[in-house]
Amino acid sequence: MTTTERPEIISEAFGDPQDPPLLLIMGAMASMLWWPEALCRKLADAGLFVIRYDNRDTGRSTKYPPGKPSYTFDDMADDAMRVLDSHGLHSAHVVGMSAGGMIAQLVALKHPSRIISLTVISSSPMGMDTSHLPGTTAAIEHSAEGADVDWSDRSQVVDFIVKDARAIASTAHPFDEARMRAFVEQDYDRSGGFESATNHFMLKGGDAWKGRLREMTAPLLVIHGTADPIFPVEHGEALAEAVSGAKIVRIEGGGHELHPDDRTVISAAIVAHTRAG
């Protein structure tokens, strides 16, 4: 069932509002902070008006009782449009990562006139049979271990998220555990805990758009790490193949993350894509 209530969605902008707008949509359980401020500023310095926001049940946006999400993926796609509305914008370039990449695909299908271009990072084709692609064993193991976490216990949650971040990290760069732990603690405290964010694993929706990726009209760029254990790179390749004219940038050794050492390549690819049209 789709909720009729309007959640409060918290957003933050970087750069000049007169520049072309770029909306960033993050993935499951992740607040806007998972779009690193350094990356946002890098994109803004390149001439984009960058907006990041907290999805429902994350950060400082509206939260729902754990285990009882009264909203769907379709609602989250509509949330993205409300963020644009709140900034007085009709349309924007959109970037989505992981589950946020699936929401971004849904946005591009539901609201084509509002999407100037689409970039999907570390994600999978929405509404398409991916059973023939390499399995997402890391995601399955992660979900299984998450079931044993007491999500109201700060130390347990922080330990779990840090361990998970290490498991899905780049194979090309060192993992900075101290930096990640400090970041997760910051995100936890700002969000007031992650218990409600587990609702993201129970969401349904998007059924009306199954098998319709080829209808996408937004110019599509796929960015995908070659060592991503959540969505192996074949998922990104399948998405690029499903949409006419799509391009793909592979991050060699890249995991399911926005590693500091990969941000120059990632930001350059996004900027070039926004300028291509």
Q: CA-CA distance, 262 to 260, in Å (whole number)?
A: 5
Amino acid at 62: T
CB 26 within 8 A of CB 258: no
DSSP string of 63-88, one letter each residue = ---TT-----HHHHHHHHHHHHHHTT
Which positions are catalytic? Answer: 98, 228, 256
CB 220 within 8 A of CB 126: no
Residue 270, judged by CB atoms within 10 A of its CB (0-12, 13-18, 19+), counts as buried
Helix, strand, coil percentages, rounded to 5, for the chain: 45, 15, 45
> Crossing angle, helix 154-167 and helix 177-191, to 10 degrees?
130
Output the six-digit token pair for 205.
């929706």
Four-residue CA torsion sign, 198, 21, 101, 252: negative
Amino acid at 261: D
Q: CA-CA distance, 131 to 113, in Å (whole number)?
A: 31
Report the 3 state secondary structure along 30-63.
CCHHHCCHHHHHHHHHCCCEEEEECCCCCCCCCC
